[in-house]
């Protein structure tokens, strides 16, 4: 037991050292597509969808947030109604987040994100779920319909105290972990591998659920990324988003651990 504890301490120490230089931008090399959104970076946020009026203080709507991955997959709300925009807020520990009201607030990537080159995905979000009363969708990649949802994170997946990660090729597979009663702050990660097949749900840097059921064939496709709702029309997320990383790749164990630790700095989840 002492040897195991020593090894875990050494791993944790190594991760902390890496965090001095690690940012999620390092995931997006060699043609990897995806997105990275960081609400703690004021320079990336605007009060309007066009990106002309910068966000300068908490309490302001965020109609556009820039993608820091280098892939140009910026997110906005095209409705033209600021009531539909999430709002920048700050929690009691000084951490910044986008607040989604569970009623009408959402964002989406300006264009589609092309993931047709592969069938692996890594998505990680720092969230605070505020209610378990109804299904909420912090993240979904697809065309906004129930028939095309290539991957998604649910918080919760219904009127229950759970999280769910869905990964889809020509067939969909769900992985669900229960026992996370709102209000609760967590770093949630999904690892999808269509041909593996594998769908893994991680909560606070630990595996919470896994499925090796068939996801059929194909790749993740070329679709918009929706944040806070399905297609901007349903399954609105009631909670906070402290950060979001989506990388179309088979992330290494080190990349997963470093990304989750980076998001933990943004959330203080664990």
C-alpha–C-alpha distance, residues 56 and 109, integer Å: 22
What is residue 7's predicted lDDT score, i.e. its pLDDT? 53
Q: Which two tokens stand for residue 65?
A: 């947030």
pLDDT band at 9 (very low <50, low <70, confident <90, very high): very low
The residues, ordered by sequence, that sit 6+ positions from 193 with a Cβ below 8 Å of its Cβ are: 119, 120, 121, 167, 199, 250
pTM for this predicted structure:
0.91
C-alpha–C-alpha distance, residues 163 and 161, integer Å: 7
Looking at residue 43, the DSSP 8-state letter turns out to be G
Average pLDDT over every residue of 170-174: 95
pLDDT higher than threshold 80 for residue 243? yes
pLDDT higher than threshold 60 for residue 239? yes
C-alpha–C-alpha distance, residues 78 and 65, integer Å: 12
Query: What angle (nearest 5°) sits at the alpha carbon of residue 262, between those of residues 5 and 54?
Result: 165
Closest C-alpha among 196, 130, 203 to residue 165: 203
What is residue 149's predicted lDDT score, i.e. its pLDDT? 73
Half-sphere exposure of 131 (CA within 13 A, CB side): 17
Mean pLDDT, all residues of the chain: 93
Looking at residue 52, the DSSP 8-state letter turns out to be -
pLDDT band at 142 (very low <50, low <70, confident <90, very high): very high
Q: Coil, strand or helix: which one is 118?
A: coil
């Amino acid at each position: 037991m002492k040897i195991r504890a020593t090894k875990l301490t050494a791993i944790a120490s190594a991760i902390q050292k890496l965090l001095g230089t690690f940012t999620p931008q390092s995931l997006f090399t060699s043609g990897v597509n995806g997105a990275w959104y960081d609400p703690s970076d004021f320079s990336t946020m605007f009060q309007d969808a066009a990106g002309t009026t910068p966000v300068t203080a908490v309490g302001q709507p965020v109609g556009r947030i820039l993608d820091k991955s280098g892939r140009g997959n910026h997110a906005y709300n095209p409705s033209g109604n600021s009531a539909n925009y999430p709002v920048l807020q700050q929690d009691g520990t000084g951490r910044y987040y986008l607040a989604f009201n569970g009623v009408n607030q959402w964002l989406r990537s300006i264009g589609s994100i092309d993931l047709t080159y592969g069938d692996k995905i890594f998505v990680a979000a720092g969230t605070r779920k505020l209610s378990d009363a109804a299904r909420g969708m912090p993240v979904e990649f697809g065309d906004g319909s129930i028939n095309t949802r290539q991957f998604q994170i649910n918080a919760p997946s219904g009127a229950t105290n759970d999280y769910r990660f869905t990964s889809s090729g020509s067939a969909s597979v769900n992985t669900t972990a229960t026992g996370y009663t709102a209000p609760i702050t967590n770093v949630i990660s999904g690892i999808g591998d269509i041909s593996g097949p594998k769908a893994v749900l991680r909560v606070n840097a630990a595996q919470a659920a896994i499925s090796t059921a068939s996801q059929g064939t194909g790749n993740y496709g070329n679709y918009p990324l929706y944040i806070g709702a399905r297609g901007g029309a349903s399954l609105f997320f009631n909670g906070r988003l402290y950060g979001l990383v989506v990388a179309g790749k088979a992330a290494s164990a080190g990349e997963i651990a470093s990304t989750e630790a980076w998001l933990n700095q943004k959330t203080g989840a664990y």
